[in-house]
Structure 1
Amino acid sequence: MNVADLTQRAMRIHALYDELNRHERGRVWTREEFMLGFVGDVGDLAKLVMAQEGARDMPGGRAALEHELADCLWSVLVLAHLHGVDLERAFDRTTAQLDTDISSRLPSTREPS
């Protein structure tokens, strides 16, 4: 599955949440509220990673970690779409720049990647 396919699936779920929220609350989440929900998910992910490393107790184990990682990816895909960001292009551009910046700081005896 590529980024476009993932985004399409993510937006399908986002549309379902909008429909559910309209039905149950009479309104949908704003982009800001969606972002705040994502921040909460990142906090949950942090706790699950700490649990995987033995730094805290957290129920759910590996399945909960996988779920939260997928949930966070879903949020990133939706946020990118809502803000008109071509995530694939932005990722390529950002990682290319990081590769250049980091590589320039390493000793020159390193093999090129």
Structure 2
Amino acid sequence: MDLTELREQAVRIHDRYDELNLHKRGRVWSRNEFMLGFMGDVGDLAKLVMAEEGARDAPGGRAALEHELADCLWSVLILAHRYDVDLERAFQRTMAELDEAITARLPRRT
């Protein structure tokens, strides 16, 4: 599955959440609320990574870690969608910038 397919699937789930929230609460989440939800997911992910490293206990094991990583990816895809960011282009540009910056700091190969 490529990034376009991931984004399309993420948006479908986003739209379903909007439908559910309209039905249950009479409103949809704002962009700010999506960001806050993402922050919660990142906190959950941090705990699961600590558990994976043996630093704490966490229920769910590897499956929980995989689930939370997928939740975080979903949040990033939705935030990019909600802010109209071409994530593929931004990722490629950022990786090129990082590669250039890292290469400039490494000793020259002979």
Q: TM-score, normalised by structure 1?
A: 0.95
Runs of 4+ in structure 1 deviating by more than 2 angstroms, as ranges, are: none
Q: Deviations over 1:24-70 (max 9, x none)?
A: 11111101011100000000000000000001110110000000000
| Rounded Cα–Cα distance in structure 2 between residues aligned with 1:83 and 1:30 | 11
| Rounded Cα–Cα distance in structure 1 between residues aligned with 2:18 and 2:73 | 18
| Rounded Cα–Cα distance in structure 2 between residues aligned with 1:104 and 1:31 | 37
Letter of the 1:37 counterpart? G
| Rounded Cα–Cα distance in structure 2 between residues aligned with 1:30 and 1:56 | 33
1:9 is aligned to 2:9: yes
Cross-structure match for 1:96: 96
Cross-structure match for 2:39: 39
Q: What secondary structure, in the 3-state scheme, does the structure 1 residue paired with 2:27 have?
A: coil
Structure 1 gap ranges (5+): none
Using the TM superposition, give the Cα deviation of residue 2 of structure 1 relative to its aligned residue in structure 2, in angstroms: 1.1
Percent of counterpart pairs with the same letter? 72
| Rounded Cα–Cα distance in structure 2 between residues aligned with 1:43 and 1:57 | 15
Letter of the 1:17 counterpart? Y
Cross-structure match for 1:48: 48
Q: What secondary structure, in the 3-state scheme, does the structure 1 residue paired with 2:19 have?
A: helix
- Alpha-carbon RMSD: 0.9
Cross-structure match for 2:85: 85
Letter of the 2:90 counterpart? A
Using the TM superposition, give the Cα deviation of residue 109 of structure 1 relative to its aligned residue in structure 2, in angstroms: 2.2
Letter of the 1:87 counterpart? L
